[in-house]
Amino acid sequence: MIEWYKEQFSDYAFVLACFNGEVRPRHPIVVEYFPHSDDVLFVPGLDGHTGDLPAIGQPMQRDFRVAFASEAHTLPLNVHYSEQIFHERWAPLTVTGFYDNRPHGENTDYVLPLESIEEGFFGHELLDTLIS
């Protein structure tokens, strides 16, 4: 699988999260990156619950809470941290995002126009702006 990612996405970092779904409390996966484009934001979203290579574009049950942050923008939702995390440089003070619980959502990454967060979209408004 790692070789496939290296071939398909050689200029990108990726997260390979392996867990049995019973971790309590659930913790977010934080990805910080310098964008390849000035007008889009990207969050990894390919899912391979079977352990096989992800089938890009295949309809599947989605169950992700996706949040975007930008150093250049104040976004509609404030984030509250414990004292310990608050001082981490990667911890944004404001975010925007959505809950993707589509029963037949496309198995793909989340890419949206930066313009969407500049306009203050969140929730289903933001989900509707995804770029296929």
**Cβ–Cβ < 8 Å for 68, 117:** yes
Domain assignment present for residue 38? The answer is yes
Domain assignment present for residue 109? The answer is yes
**Cβ–Cβ < 8 Å for 1, 50:** no
> CB neighbours (10 Å) of residue 24?
5
Domain assignment present for residue 10? The answer is yes
Q: pTM score, two decimals?
A: 0.75
Residue 127: which H helix or E strand, with range? Answer: helix 124-127
Domain assignment present for residue 132? The answer is no
**Cβ–Cβ < 8 Å for 64, 49:** no
Structural domain range at position 43: 2-127
Q: How confident is the model at residue 103 (pLDDT cuts 50, 70, 90)?
A: very high
- How many distinct structural domains can be found in the chain? 1
40-83, pLDDT tens digit by residue?
888 888 887 777 778 889 998 888 888 888 888 888 888 887 77
Cα–Cα nearest to 117, from 70, 55, 49, 65: 70
Domain assignment present for residue 9? The answer is yes
Q: Percent of the chain scored above 70 by pLDDT?
A: 85
Domain assignment present for residue 101? The answer is yes
